[in-house]
Amino acid sequence: MHPQAAHAGAILTVDLDALRSNYRLLRKQAGSAACGAAVKADAYGLGAERVGPALAAEGCRHFFVAHLDEGIALRPHLPATAQVFVLHGPPPGTGQEFISRGLTPVLNSLQQIQDWHALAQALQRPLPAIVQVDSGMSRMGLPAAEAEAWLADPLYQQTIPPLFLMSHLACAEHQDHPMNASQLARFKALRQRLPQVPASLANSSGIFLGADYQFDLVRPGAALYGIAPVAGAANPLQPVAALHGRILQTRTIERGDHVGYGISYSATEQRQIATVGVGYADGWLRGMSNRGVVFIDGKAAPMVGTVSMDSITIDVTGIAAERLQAGALVELIGPSRPVDDVARLAGTIGYEILTGLGMRYYREYVGQ
């Protein structure tokens, strides 16, 4: 173990071999479509500077981040042949920085298109970009009226050659949701007006909706990191992240003794309580108070009391004392409790659990 690991309250392990295996599975599932990767939010909390090169080694050449600064940070870690797309497009006045940094915007509004068009005219050369259209999610992309204005002006397509026509699915994890077919129909109708432009619609879950949704490029994100892509179905992907917290101390409490802020837990009999150095400042959500579970050698240890900023308390009654010494590690995310199960206990989704993991952990990367 690295000496710095002893300094941290917990160890976050990222399995790059599992990541690469997931990418290969998704690429195969995508059929003839190219398989990109969403590495926004620091690769869903797992470290874009390590995740990006691992995916590039598998042949990934289309990387998606949310913000300009994310693209600037990632670009030096990828091969020159890789493209980095910024999903939120260029903030006003940043067009030149996109060009100098080797980044490509996703244009989401007529204003962004007009600004990018003006820059192309000023530089007297075309500036390719992805154009995103809204197919029903009402979040990002050109609304119908703006899409019509864009399509009506051929000059825009001369100065901004569209690399892809793109949209995003709202309900793809629920395969029988009627919104999927509705969005597909709206997207196809727009795509028919630009048949020469490659298209991209499918996110992680959309890949599993079948060939009709895959078009020319798919953009998996959560599935790369082991989150289940289809609600209610077995997860075909390998877990990428594991989290182990460090025991700080243990104590015996008696009937009537309380634990934690607000004394939300009271013992009904003698219990052994261990304190672990992970809290809501580390992304271990307060909503798991008195309902989360951690594991020690595969044996469940329920969380008792309110999650604190820097620690949780667990009931370790009946677990061998030698496994409860200060510094011993307990499993918070891992084989006994995958990230999707943690999310269900917290009343959220695996995305929020992974992206909320803070920077206080010691991060250990295994695999190539």
What amino acid positions are annotated as catalytic residues?
40, 261
Does residue 211 contact residue 199 with C-beta atoms inside 8 Å?
no
Q: Cα–Cα distance between 97 and 77 in angstroms, integer?
A: 18
Sole residue written with tokens 């590495």: 39
Residue 245: CB partners within 8 Å, gap ≥ 6? 9, 10, 276, 277, 278, 294, 312, 329, 330, 332
3-state secondary structure 35-72: ECEECHHHHHCCCHHHHHHHHHHCCCCEEEECCHHHHH
The answer to whether 139 is a known ligand-binding residue is: yes
Does the annotation place 140 within a ligand binding site? Answer: no
Taking a C-beta distance cutoff of 8 angstroms, is the pair 357, 339 a contact?
no
Both tokens of residue 236?
Answer: 């075909």
CA–CA separation, 115 and 189 (whole Å): 26
Q: Which two tokens stand for residue 219?
A: 């953009």
Residue with tokens 């600004």: 115
In this structure, the number of other CB atoms found within 10 A of the CB of residue 67 comes to: 14
Name which of 291, 260, 262, 287 is nearest 274 in CA terms: 260
Within 10 A of 59 (CB to CB), how many other CB atoms are there?
11
- Asked whether the beta carbons of 307 and 280 are under 8 A apart, the reply is yes
Burial classification of residue 43, based on how many CB atoms lie within 10 Å of its CB (0-12 exposed, 13-18 middle, 19 or more buried): buried
Residues ≥6 apart with Cβ < 8 Å to 237: 22, 25, 223, 226, 227, 228, 229
Backbone angles phi, psi at 74, to 5 degrees: -80, -35
Task: Return the closest-CA partner of residue 140 out of 103, 182, 169.
Answer: 169
Q: Are 242 and 360 in contact (CB under 8 A)?
A: no
CA–CA separation, 15 vs 326, rounded Å? Answer: 26
Binding-site residues for substrate sit at 139, 309
Binding-site residues sit at 139, 309
